[in-house]
Structure 1
Amino acid sequence: MAARKLAVAAVALMLSACSLLKPADKAEEGDNKGTPPSSTGETTTDGREVPTVRLITAQTPAVRAYRKIGARHIYNKYASRIYKGKLPPLVYAVVVVETDIDATGKVVNVTFSRTPSHAPEVAPMIAEMIKAASPLPNPGKLGGHTYVDTWLWDRSDKFQIDSLTQGQRSR
């Protein structure tokens, strides 16, 4: 019986703590005496607004197929920069790139979910190459989306894209 009372008391305490975290309605709306909601210049919200979050498109077969089409377009644009054959066992840099395209294939944004700290010059070069290759082929029914691909960068400044890589040598 004591354990049950303790559990009820713990739940009641947690629920009351939740109300302490909510901003007071009057603090958000001003105090009805003409003071603005925030004098610091910050925008106040009522907790009902949802922040905008970039969503990476699920890696469906259609998206994986488009990744190969996009990679092929980049390979055609930079044919002299493609590393021929299998890459060495230790590549200079591995960069995971998120490419946002619109419904026509125009590159809207390029961001990175992984960049090498020892090679900070590589990510900006990749972003410029992708933007310069814009527009990518029309994505058709996929429409605008964000897809992820991995760039494998050699010390020679040549690269392969994971979607089309020939793999790596064991030695």
Structure 2
Amino acid sequence: MRTMILISGALALGLAACGQGGGEAKTDAAAGGAAPTTAAVLEGPQPGLWRVTTAMTGVPGGATVPAVEQCVTEAKFEAPAQGSTPGADCTTEAFRREGDAVVGGTVCQMQGMKTESTIRVTGDFSSRYVMEVRTKMDPAPMPEMAETVMTMTGERLGDCPAA
């Protein structure tokens, strides 16, 4: 069985292209303009067996990751732990609800590069969700990587198999 921290993993994948991630939780809404409606941790998809497919644009040749099936016992949207990547100075927005979406983001500075990521997750969280992580890098390591988009689609397959 597995606990799934959705945003931490997605953010790590989204920032992997530039070698950044992690950060310090920011509980105010200065970056997004809207006040958070709950704490920085929000409940995610319901427990069960999920298939997650991932695709990326803005990376050389594009990227598609093979679908992963995993048994989830608990899922939460929360910011990555402070100091996840040594040398990166990151600030992470508290996750909040905006209508039918869970929204958050992060800004990192490392080795002269600024990375801004926005995260938006929609869906009913009982059968399906779509998470989009949009990352802008300045300066970009390559011109085509100035903006990348990672899209993760989760589909609940049913209950976890008995152990």
TM-score for both structures, normalised by structure 2: 0.25
Query: Higher helix proportion, which one?
Result: 1
Query: Higher strand proportion, which one?
Result: 2
* Structure ID, larger Rg: 1
